[in-house]
Structure 1
Amino acid sequence: MTAPRIHPSAVVEAGARLGDGVEVGAFCYIGAEVEVGDGTTFGPHCSVHGPTRIGRENRFIGHCAIGGEPQDKKYHGERVELEIGDRNLFREFTTINRGTGTGGGITRIGHDNWFLAYTHVAHDCMIGNSCVFSNNATLAGHVTIGDHVIMSGFAGVHQFCRIGAHAFIGMGALVNGDVPPFLMIAQDGYGRPRGINSEGLKRRGFDADRISAIKRAYRAVYMSGGSLEDARAKLAELAADSEDARAFLAFIESSERPLLR
């Protein structure tokens, strides 16, 4: 066992639980209802408010504001939480808020994500695994992000929207509808679909047949010129032979907000 290393200028409230090998840098604040897993490190001037649970081997580089109250006028001090998984990286001035009582009560972040400088995750967001949030990427409240999503610099997502797995949101794109998995979104005022994220899929081991099936699914929804109901019918046909087309169809059928088209 390795005892936590706490800088003399840091404040760790009674009731905080720090795992083996945790490092707390200069001028940090760790609140009373904060639990930190083994090997997690905090650079200077980080603040963590609870209730917050942080997993193993996370790195908070400096000036991060984690677990603060939600920026929501309906919040009146009820008990709400933040949960962070393992091996995430949080760069300078990242802000992550806890949930709201009316929105599920928790903000949840998975594993192996990168949050670069000045990124913001608002209340009640749900973020998967292995995502990258480039500088100044911003999520409003209640946003759901799938696995392996890339948010480019200055991209933003409207509240209650969903971004499917393996999607790529281009620099400065503003997303105001649900984005199915595998898509690439580029800026044109508000962001609009611009094909599929072929390069990202190749890097993650998708073979040519899978990528071709995803392209057919994309064309059925975005290039056929038909209605969304027509697109669903075509996707249902493609889903018989493609797991990825089934994922595309399942996402669309579960959408409560308008699809970004």
Structure 2
Amino acid sequence: MSATARKTAPNAEDIRARKGSTPLVSLTAYTTPMARLMDAHCDFVLVGDSVGMVLHGMTSTLGVTMEMMVMHGQAVARGLDRAMMVIDMPFASYEHDPAHAFKNAARLMAETGAGAVKLEGGVEMAETIRFLVKRGIPVMAHIGLTPQSINTLGGYKVQGRDEQAKAVLADAHAVAEAGAFSVVLEKVPQGLADQITAEVAIPTIGIGASAGCDGQILVVDDMVGFFTAFKPKFVKRYAELGPQAEAAIAEYASDVRARSFPADEHVFPDQAPTKGPKT
């Protein structure tokens, strides 16, 4: 089922125009309830392929499929009225050639109502970014640590130190020149992130980069403490909802075993009341 574009949401050009202005705010979302909570506070919401690890228990993002991204994209779209929705292109959906990337990007946008797609890669993906943009697909780029490439990067390591800095800087310029409207910088050293932000004409979105970036993004389940398998250095926990939820579940289990739940106020009497609404 196709999603209908929301008239109040900003678009890629609106995000691009925020370069050097008030920092852009973004979080990931995978479900309708979470999207509703962040809609009033975020400039754009990312349906991230991190859903594979956060909600599906995968060890990396590599097993996430197009079907999963469509399903979660549709769910997030139902919860957004104000924020722009950007959706990740999953592993192996865009690397083969630009035409293959266009087919999958067009499907994601048509079936979810997303305002843009995000894909990983720098210099090597510039041709694909240019191809998509020329055909009406706004692209958010993602460089530095690219989680879909962890097997070649040797794990979740900082990217851009020492001699690597030139390559990451070249990636940033390549995606900007190819037409990306913004670029995510993940696990990039602070000084390099500031240099990229100063040199490229599109907004930089930091995640483990620098407060000097044009915006920031975090995985919401990391930020509120729902995902506790590990905690990256760049995550600030604004709440610890995971332990609170576990405590509530434990209390519920105790009440059930003690037969103190459900109590009288939670059950229906044998006889309907004579006045008021029917039960």
Q: TM-score range by the shorter chain?
A: under 0.3
Question: Looking at both structures, which has the greater relative contact order when contacts are Cα pairs under 8 Å and sequence separation is at least 6?
Answer: 2
Larger strand proportion of the pair: 1
TM-score normalised by the chain length of structure 1: 0.27
* The structure with more radius of gyration: 2
TM-score normalised by the chain length of structure 2: 0.25
